[in-house]
Chains A and B, each alone.
Chain A
Amino acid sequence: MNQWVEGTLFDNIDKFANSLGYENAGVILPLAMIPWQSTEDRNSFIRAITNKDPLGGDSHSLSYVNAKGGTK
């Protein structure tokens, strides 16, 4: 992989890990492996179970939401 791409397995892991908490690795990895229809589909799921916007990095943007919920 030449570039970090949204919607890939590793991006899913990043989003689920930072949205659900690192200690839930046992749930994060299986959820990240689900073939989500789109990133919006995945993000909707995260919003539904956490009641918050997905957290995690976005390498394409300089202002991504970090794990603590702040912006960078």
Chain B
Amino acid sequence: MPQAKKPAMTSGPGSMSRRTDGGPASKQATRYISGMPNYGDGQELQSLQASAPMEAAPQTPAGPEVTAQPQDQSQQAGPVDTSALPGLTDPSARPWEHVTTPAVLPQPVDPRQQENNVLIGRYLPDLQAALDIPGVPDSYRKFVNYLSKQV
């Protein structure tokens, strides 16, 4: 049966009838999707596509067969270049450490101290400028020196 490239807006009666849906060419072709997890899933999916074909996008060539993506993306990673990694018999990259030296975890940051440091950093220049005031007490000088070491 010839496919209508330009479907009629309305269909005439009897022998004058014409297709109004554009024919089979206006629908997307079914595609077999391989790599489905269960046996028969690909065929079932293809029959579902055939029963309710989607509208074809204009000027869209039929694409290659689609393969289901594995869930774990790390399985798709390419080969890792191990040439940069040290070998088991290579000399230590940290020769100053004994072999029994434990890993040092980063010290947890005290949020209160962190806030203090922010505050100190903001006001320290002004506090230091006050050291030039004649008659500044030594206790104030000590405090500003203490803050300078904190930042």
Write the residues of chain A forming the contact surface with B, with a CB cutoff of 8 angstroms: 1-4, 10, 13-14, 17-18, 22, 25-26, 29, 55-60, 64, 66-67, 72
Contact = CB atoms under 8 A, between A and B. Distances in A.
Interface of B: 112, 115-116, 119-120, 123, 127, 130, 133-140, 142-143, 146-147, 150
B117 to A, nearest CB: 9
A26 B112 contact: yes
Given A10-B127, A13-B127, A17-B143, A29 B119 contact: yes
A64 B119 CA distance: 28
Most buried by A among B116, B130, B139: B139
Given A22-B146, A26-B119, A29-B123, A55 B137 contact: no
A39 to B, nearest CB: 14
Nearest to A60: B135
28 contacts: A1-B130, A1-B133, A2-B133, A2-B134, A3-B134, A4-B133, A4-B136, A13-B143, A14-B137, A14-B139, A14-B140, A14-B143, A17-B139, A25-B116, A25-B150, A26-B116, A26-B119, A29-B119, A29-B123, A55-B139, A56-B137, A57-B138, A57-B139, A66-B138, A66-B139, A67-B142, A67-B143, A72-B138
Given A13-B140, A66-B138, A67-B139, 8 more contacts: A2-B133, A4-B136, A10-B133, A22-B147, A25-B119, A29-B123, A58-B137, A64-B137
Contacts of B143: 13-14, 17-18, 22, 67
A59 B115 CA distance: 31
B136 to A, nearest CB: 5
Most buried by A among B123, B137, B147: B137
A59 B130 contact: no
The 4 A-B residue pairs with the shortest CB-CB distance in the complex, in nearest-first order: A57-B137, A59-B135, A4-B135, A14-B140
